[in-house]
Structure 1
């Protein structure tokens, strides 16, 4: 499941991911992010990932073909995750974006929000 939240006039997007990601959910989130990027230019993203169980194969392809081009337009990204391997893998994301990226534990959500808004 992907939940996408923005506040009108803000360049910060909060995305919550839980369980398995479907292709439809991912496509919808990417389209919303494209729209927000058109409105706000460089955007900041806070992504909270809990109980992640994977992605549909088609969603993985969508992420590689559509998501990467959107990720390149992100200015700063905070990833808040309950799984250590997700936080540790954030160094790989640097191959797909020029965004400043920082990983946080779930109990550091408020610190991540403060950092993303600096």
Structure 2
């Protein structure tokens, strides 16, 4: 399941993975919210928390995740992954260079720091829309 994390500034979206994440979760929660946000912003910031309640991704969910990134390849400003799931941390460290945005990896205990980083104003813009 994926649920939205509220309280982030305009141009920033947050999601939390809980239990088993499926392609339907992407189709019903994540994709519509991200597409709507891109309709209003040229650049987005994403906070994605995969906490201790997470049990895994279905193959379809992993495909949807990749396709969402490709659809908006140049539209990401910052991406924060918050997790203590070891295989995700290893993958993120190995593949972080391929993320088309400023990317940071945080531990679960650093969720508030990740939120602060995602919420920082852009250095080149006051409105976060560039």
Q: Same fold (TM over 0.5)?
A: yes
TM range (shorter): 0.7 to 0.9
Q: Which residue of structure 1 lines up, in the alignment, with residue 23 of structure 2?
A: 23
Report the structure number with the largest CA radius of gyration: 2
Extract structure 1 runs of 4+ deviating beyond 6 A: none
RMSD between superposed Cα atoms in Å: 2.1
Q: Which residue of structure 1 lines up, in the alignment, with residue 37 of structure 2?
A: 36
Point out the structure with the larger strand share. Answer: 1
Q: What is the aligned length? A: 117
Can you list the C-alpha shifts for 1:97-117, whole angstroms capped at 9, x where unaligned? 311100011111111111112
Structure 2 unmatched runs, 5+ = 121-130
Normalising by structure 1, we get a TM-score of 0.83
Which aligned pairs between 1:91-106 and structure 2 lie closer than 5 A? Answer: 91=93, 92-95=95-98, 97-106=99-108
Give the secondary-structure state (helix, strand or coil) at the position aligned to 1:49. strand
Normalising by structure 2, we get a TM-score of 0.76
